[in-house]
């Protein structure tokens, strides 16, 4: 078909679509069906606050089974009335209006407040040949308000917080994770349920999703009232987030790569000797040997001479271990041979390209590595069979699922014609990470419920929160701009409903720092990145080009080393707060990394800040994202350090509350900008008035000591509450009710703290304990300044000074 003929065909089709008008509609059990032009439209309630919109270019509606959506539509009470050209569907939570004259769908709150409108006749269908199958390219255009702030769409590196005035080509990549979910500050969300390459665009003409392949338009609109409510609806639709083990919230060390089991175990031993906390160590690639054995799911490298002993040695040092596994296999591996016989391997160029481990790749010896068809349930079975036998059986604690996009090199359009179990690769491209991560998670949980699934993955798609996966931002190149970009990347990712995200501390590649760890600017950057990571869902040091263990940055008494150690210890002291926040994520659909719009939607100044965020609902974090202590002599290459003058960072404190400087206890009013001094071991960190923060003991690993003597710090100025959550720290017994909660309620008027009756129980639970209660703003010097409470599970009331 020539370009001219294609344009004419589209024009005629669209014209017919606009010209005709439906005169009737059919009420269904869940909504209504009607026609528009030659096509059909269905509005289907999934709950009083979630509605699905289906549109087809001709007779018959989309009949696909969603890969992301797990919710079965619940019986929803709604009314339908027709006024003129408009059909109005009203539930208890929202109003959906369909205009039969122009095909527009619009959404309102139950109180008639406008939320979102489609553009008039905003759906379009362009004929498309998908690897021999006749289908369509589908588009839906919406009309946002001029100054409406919207978020989400996944984790990208452009540094934008508000996702307006941009064009985004959504195809999964190494450093970009795309989730077609739009989250508005007005309290609604839109999930575009399509897995093919998609363009999101926002400009003066409208806001649109356009996907290469689709039988029809298929999207969900949900109203939550506020950001937490929207996320709760998205998880209701696509799956809830399970608890991670406590140890995953400790400090993790990795690099590209430990070349022997002696080296790996030695790193854990060194941390223990230094007294620096560590909970996890990660083995990256090549433990299987050469690239022809890529991802063989066996230890075929002779330097790993006794893998069972290696795992046992790590466990004996009270640490956990996870290991790199990929979405592809080398031609000499057992999984490759079994899958190849059953046509379960895709045919496009992926990493690694050569069989030899050299750079650049020697293409005289192509690796033959191929990506497996993760859409095929039998292929996922084979994948788990070899993983279970070769590695899980050793006692491995979790998985580092690399290249879950997957890597797609030397891209050719015909690569998308690859046939998968679910159709062309083009049709299901962006859902690949959901399928491969889900394949491992589901099979491990079916195998054993004694160890919670924990997966570190490089890519994600809508619904992946249900699989116990923490997504990292990919192989970013170290720079100050890259560090700042991580903040908006993690926040927008969290706003799609997937709560667990992290990044390589220090950046993966050091190409901008040829002197590597000898460059004082890089050492400063690494320190600031680690300080930021202390307030993300996973605190993990990793990278290529130079090792990143703390002892590579000096020794005790050196500024950078001491700053690193300080923040690692701070992370561990906050574990009771972090683990309780993770329960809030699981139990109440909350988020750990929170964009300021989540808690301060009415503060216009807070809506587009891309270098600050809330960690849980109490801490405001403002990472330092520029060099402050570097002196560059004219013409010199490597700079020198200059700590002669303490620098500061400007921080906006949102209005509607008071704030406490975490480091000094100073109280500051909200709605103001402050300049906080930031020596190398300080970042701006503020606590919201009304917060109650539990602090844990000083430990070398997360489970070293019981929480039998916690400091409970109260930040007065507003009433507040906090629920301390505890369980067995691993396994799935919490799903059967094996956990306990203790709620602390602060009455700021009466200056009274009530520690509630403990609820629930679990094996090994503390029957009695001590709480050392301290009011912020005092000297805060520990037990000498606190009020000691003996607690045995029964309600206690304290009258405190503030």
Contact of 164 with 145, CB cutoff 8 Å? no
Measure the CA–CA gap between 773 and 163, rounded to whole angstroms: 43
What is the SS3 assignment for 666? coil
Cα–Cα distances (Å) from 704 to 109, 280, 499, 537, 701, in that order, read 50, 14, 27, 20, 6
Distance CA 294, CA 201 (A): 39
Of 338, 357, 415, 475, which is the active-site residue?
A: 475
Nearest-angstrom CA–CA distance, 658 and 671: 9
Between β-strands 251-253 and 280-283, what pairing exists: parallel, antiparallel or unpaired? Answer: parallel
Exactly one of 118, 215, 236, 402 is catalytic; name it. Answer: 402
The structure tokens 């269905």 sit at: 42
Element (H, E) at 265: helix 261-274
Closest CA to 93 of 106, 80, 112, 75: 112
Burial class of residue 799 (count of CB atoms within 10 Å of its CB; 0-12, 13-18, 19+) = exposed
475 is catalytic: yes
Instruction: List the alpha helices (DSSP H) in 477-607.
Output: 480-494, 520-533, 559-573, 575-588, 596-599
CA–CA separation, 604 vs 243, rounded Å? 34
Alpha carbons 737 and 127: distance in angstroms, whole number: 53
Burial class from Cβ neighbours inside 10 Å (0-12, 13-18, 19+) for residue 237 reads: buried
The DSSP-derived string for 197-220 is: -EEEEEETTEEEEEEEEESSEEEE
Taking CA atoms, 778 is separated from 574, 666, 714, 784, in Å, by 20, 9, 11, 11
The candidate with the shortest Cα–Cα distance to 97, out of 38, 31, 39, is 31
Q: Are strands 188-192 and 217-223 parallel, antiparallel or unpaired?
A: antiparallel
Q: Give the contacts of 177 (CB within 8 A, at least 6 positions apart).
A: 154, 155, 156, 433, 458, 459, 460, 461, 471, 473, 474, 493
The distance between the two most distant Cα atoms of the chain, rounded to a whole number of Å, is 84
**Cα–Cα distance, 693 to 744 (Å, whole number):** 10
Strand partners, 8: none
Question: H/E element holding 442?
Answer: helix 432-447
- Whole-angstrom Cα distance, residue 38 to residue 734? 52
Q: Would the CA dihedral through 730, 735, 737, 743 be positive or negative?
A: positive
- Nearest-angstrom CA–CA distance, 478 and 659: 32
Task: Give strand pairing partners of 206.
Answer: 203
For residue 773, the cross-strand partners are 712, 787
| End-to-end Cα distance, the chain | 77
Are 373 and 341 a contacting pair, CB within 8 Å?
A: no
- From the number of C-beta atoms within 10 Å of its C-beta (0-12, 13-18, 19+), residue 557 rates as exposed
At 405, is the secondary structure helix, strand, or coil?
A: coil
Q: What number of other Cβ atoms are within 10 A of residue 59's Cβ?
A: 9
Residues 176, 313, 405, 726: which is the catalytic one?
A: 405
CB atoms within 10 A of CB 359: 8
Q: How far apart are CA 688 and CA 616, in angstroms?
A: 11
Whether residue 433 contacts residue 459, with contact meaning beta carbons closer than 8 Å, is answered with yes
User: Which residues carry out catalysis?
Assistant: 402, 405, 475
């Amino acid at each position: 078909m020539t370009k001219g003929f294609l344009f004419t065909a589209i024009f005629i089709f669209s014209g017919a679509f606009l010209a005709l008008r439906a005169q009737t509609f059919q009420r269904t059990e869940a909504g209504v069906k009607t026609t528009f032009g030659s096509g059909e439209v269905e509005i289907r309630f999934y709950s009083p606050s979630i509605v699905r919109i289906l549109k087809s270019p001709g007779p018959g509606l989309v009949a696909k089974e969603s890969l992301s959506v797990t919710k079965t539509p619940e019986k929803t009470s709604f009314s339908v009335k027709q006024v003129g050209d408009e059909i109005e569907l009203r539930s208890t939570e929202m109003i959906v209006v369909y205009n039969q004259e122009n095909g527009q769908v619009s959404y309102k709150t139950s109180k008639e407040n406008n939320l979102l409108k489609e553009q008039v006749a905003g759906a379009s269908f362009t004929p498309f040949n998908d690897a021999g199958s006749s289908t369509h390219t589908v588009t839906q255009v919406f009309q946002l308000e001029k100054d409406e702030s919207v978020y989400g769409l996944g984790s990208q590196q452009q540094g934008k917080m508000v996702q307006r005035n941009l064009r985004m080509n959504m195809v999964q990549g190494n450093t970009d994770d795309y989730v077609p979910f739009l989250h508005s500050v007005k309290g609604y969300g839109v999930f575009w349920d399509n897995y093919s390459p998609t363009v999101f665009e926002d400009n003066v003409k409208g806001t649109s999703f356009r996907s290469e392949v689709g039988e029809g338009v298929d999207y969900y609109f949900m109203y939550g009232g506020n950001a937490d409510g929207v996320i709760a609806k998205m998880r209701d639709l696509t799956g809830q987030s399970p608890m991670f083990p406590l140890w995953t919230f400790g400090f993790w060390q990795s690099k590209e790569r430990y070349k022997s089991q002696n080296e790996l175990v030695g790193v854990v031993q060194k941390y223990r000797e230094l007294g620096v906390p560590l909970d996890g160590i990660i083995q990256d690639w090549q433990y299987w040997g050469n690239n022809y054995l890529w991802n063989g799911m066996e230890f075929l490298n002779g330097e790993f001479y006794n893998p069972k002993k290696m795992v046992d040695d790590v466990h004996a040092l009270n640490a956990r271990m996870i290991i790199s596994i990929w979405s592809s296999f080398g031609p000499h591996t057992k999984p490759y041979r079994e899958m190849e016989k059953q046509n379960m391997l895709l045919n496009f160029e992926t990493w690694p390209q050569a069989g030899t481990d050299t750079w650049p790749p020697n293409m005289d010896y192509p690796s033959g590595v191929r990506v497996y068809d993760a859409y095929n349930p039998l292929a996922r079975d084979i994948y788990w069979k070899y993983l279970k036998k070769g590695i899980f059986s050793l006692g491995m604690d979790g998985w580092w699922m690399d290249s879950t996009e997957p890597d797609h090199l030397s891209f050719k359009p015909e690569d998308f014609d690859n046939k998968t179990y679910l159709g062309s690769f083009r049709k299901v491209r962006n859902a690949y990470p959901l399928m491969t991560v889900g394949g491992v998670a589901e099979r491990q949980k079916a195998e054993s419920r004694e160890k919670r699934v924990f997966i570190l993955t490089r890519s994600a798609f809508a619904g992946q929160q249900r699989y116990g996966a923490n997504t990292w931002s990919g192989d970013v190149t170290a720079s100050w701009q890259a560090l700042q970009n991580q903040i908006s990347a993690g926040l927008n990712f969290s706003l799609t409903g997937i709560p667990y995200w992290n990044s390589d501390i220090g950046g993966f590649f050091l190409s901008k720092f040829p002197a590597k760890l000898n460059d004082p600017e890089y050492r400063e950057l690494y320190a600031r990145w680690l300080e930021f990571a202390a307030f993300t869902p996973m605190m993990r040091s990793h990278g290529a080009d130079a090792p990143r263990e703390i002892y590579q940055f000096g020794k005790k008494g050196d500024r950078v080393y001491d700053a690193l150690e300080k923040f690692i210890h701070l992370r561990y002291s906050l574990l009771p707060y972090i683990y309780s926040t993770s329960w809030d994520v699981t139990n109440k659909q909350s988020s750990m990394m929170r964009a300021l719009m989540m808690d301060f939607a009415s503060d216009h100044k807070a809506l587009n800040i891309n270098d600050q965020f809330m960690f849980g609902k109490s801490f405001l974090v403002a990472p330092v994202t520029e060099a402050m202590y570097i002196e560059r002599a004219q013409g010199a290459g490597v700079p020198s350090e200059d700590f002669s003058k303490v620098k500061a960072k400007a921080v906006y404190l949102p209005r509607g509350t008071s704030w406490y400087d975490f480091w000094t206890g100073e109280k500051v009013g909200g709605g103001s900008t402050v300049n906080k001094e930031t020596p190398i071991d300080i970042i701006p960190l503020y606590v919201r008035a009304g917060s109650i923060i539990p602090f844990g003991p000083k430990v070398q690993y997360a489970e070293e000591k019981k929480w039998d003597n916690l400091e409970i710090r109260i930040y007065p100025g507003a009433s507040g509450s906090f629920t301390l959550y505890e369980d067995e720290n691993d396994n799935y017994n919490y799903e059967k009710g094996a956990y306990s909660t203790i709620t602390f309620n602060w009455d700021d008027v009466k200056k009274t703290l009530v520690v509630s009756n403990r609820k629930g129980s679990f094996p090994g639970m503390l029957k009695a304990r001590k709480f050392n209660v301290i009011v912020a703003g005092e000297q805060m010097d520990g037990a000498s300044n606190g009020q000691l409470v003996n607690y045995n599970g029964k309600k206690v009331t304290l009258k405190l000074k503030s």
